[in-house]
């Protein structure tokens, strides 16, 4: 027997750091804290998400992501009983020898190699496929944890809410907060669209879907999850909104 369950992750990019402000790459080697602007961005995201009933909180184990998640949790009463799970699978993409250097220098490296900038892998860095593998591993881990915690009996069909703005806030039975990083999220969204057949929000083209998230940008997805034997797998996926900042969609 296969039963439908519904999971609705809100996925955030971490807030701004001084490295972001200076146009420098952080990747994994630079574990910086949020700047004052970054703390304000995280607080604004927390204000927007304050009424969401989160069931789980996952964060990259990098400082800037954890601090972003903490700011959001501080404003949300549903998080009082939750413990943040810090997972290295959510780390930012590694930029190898380019970490700590200027973003423009990485662009020059890509041009010199005759490769497009977005998919370029500097020496010692992660390829898009390597990042995608981490995305897949995190999705598997998250679904099995949430399934075990919230759907031990398989669950039942739940209908979406009718009327009102499309904020994706139907009566679903699991809603995770996931905080990661910009380049990681680019790979994740491409994987969702191209391999999990995630549909885009109305009026949103692929260029926007695959663009880099602004700091503290929020994406929300609706997942239909089915239990197959002892495992939970995604059978359907829809993006409700992409790169929303402080309650407004960026252009």
Question: Three-state secondary structure along the chain?
Answer: CCCEEEECCEEEECCCEHHHHCCECCCCCCCCCECHHHHHHHHHHHHHCCCCCCCEEEEECCHHHHHHHHHHHHCCHHHHHCCCEEEHHHCCCCCHHHCCCEHHHHHHHHHHHCCCCCCCCCCCCCCHHHHHHHHHHHHHHHHHHHHHHHCCCCCCCCCCCCCCCCCCCCCCCCCEEEEECHHHHHHHHHHHHHCCCCECCCCCCHHHHCCCCCCCCEEEEEEEEEEECCEEEEEEEEEEEEEEECCEECC
* Residue 238 is assigned to a ligand binding site: no
In the annotated binding site for substrate, the residues are 64
In the annotated binding site, the residues are 64
């Amino acid at each position: 027997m296969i039963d439908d369950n519904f999971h609705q992750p809100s996925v955030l990019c971490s807030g701004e750091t001084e490295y972001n402000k200076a146009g420098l790459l952080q990747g994994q080697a630079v574990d910086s804290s949020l700047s004052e602007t970054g703390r304000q961005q995280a607080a604004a995201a927390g204000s927007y998400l304050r009424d969401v009933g989160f069931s789980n909180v996952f964060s990259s184990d990098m400082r800037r992501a954890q601090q972003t998640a903490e700011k959001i949790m501080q404003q949300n009463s549903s998080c009082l009983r939750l413990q943040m799970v810090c997972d290295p699978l959510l780390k930012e993409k590694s930029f190898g020898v380019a970490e700590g250097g200027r973003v423009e220098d990485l662009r020059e490296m890509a041009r010199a190699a005759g490769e497009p900038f977005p998919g370029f892998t500097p020496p010692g860095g992660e390829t898009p496929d390597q990042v995608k593998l981490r995305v897949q591993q995190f999705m598997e881990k998250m679904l099995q944890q949430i399934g075990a915690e919230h759907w031990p009996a398989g669950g039942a069909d739940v209908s979406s809410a009718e009327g009102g703005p499309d904020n994706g806030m139907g009566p679903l039975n699991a809603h995770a907060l996931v905080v990661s990083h910009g380049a990681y999220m680019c790979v994740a969204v491409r994987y969702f669209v191209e391999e999990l057949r995630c549909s885009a929000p109305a009026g949103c083209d692929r260029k926007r879907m695959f663009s880099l998230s602004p700091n503290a940008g929020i994406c929300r997805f609706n997942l239909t999850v089915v239990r197959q034997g002892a495992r939970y797998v995604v059978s359907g996926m829809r993006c409700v909104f992409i790169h929303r900042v402080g309650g407004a969609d960026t252009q």
